[in-house]
Amino acid sequence: MKKLFFSIFLATQSITLSVYALETAPVVIDQEKQDTYNACKKSALDRREVLMTPARKEYVLSSQTITDKAKKDFDKIKWYIPSSYMPHAKKIQDEKNQAMLSIQEKIAKVRSVAFSTWKAENALCDFQLASNEKEKNILVKK
């Protein structure tokens, strides 16, 4: 009985280990293909940065302009008595928030376009790296 149990245990263990080895075995890719793949990934990142850089610069400049305007407006009302200061301060803050909202919406659109472009180019790189039709079909279904 012990031999039977031990045999079943060993068989189960060897099946489990072989399945695990199949799942974790490194995929061997030739160096030229790997270099092409890495260059493709780098190009996708560079393209994303090309899209994002002008938007970031515009965001920084616009937000600085809006903040400076709000500071000047606050400086103008700092001598007001508290009862009239609060409504004016709230109005200035609301104007600043409204102006920042439009800039944030613009940067969100650019970020979305840059991310989707980057994701599509990454998928294309993965598709080019796939060595056979089965791998390509799996990538297409994703």
pLDDT digits (tens, 9 = 90+) for 3-28: 544 455 444 555 554 544 445 544 55
Burial of 22 (0-12, 13-18, 19+ CB in 10 A): exposed
pLDDT digits (tens, 9 = 90+) for 87-111: 999 999 999 999 999 999 999 999 9
What is the reported pLDDT for 28? Answer: 54
Q: Tell me the C-alpha distance between 91 and 98, whole Å.
A: 11
Quickly state the pLDDT bin for 135 (edges 50, 70, 90). low
Residues in the chain: 142
pTM score, whole prediction: 0.61
Cα-based angle 11, 14, 16 (whole degrees, multiple of 5): 105
Q: How far is CA 26 from CA 40, 127, 138, in A?
A: 21, 18, 18
What is the reported pLDDT for 99? Answer: 93
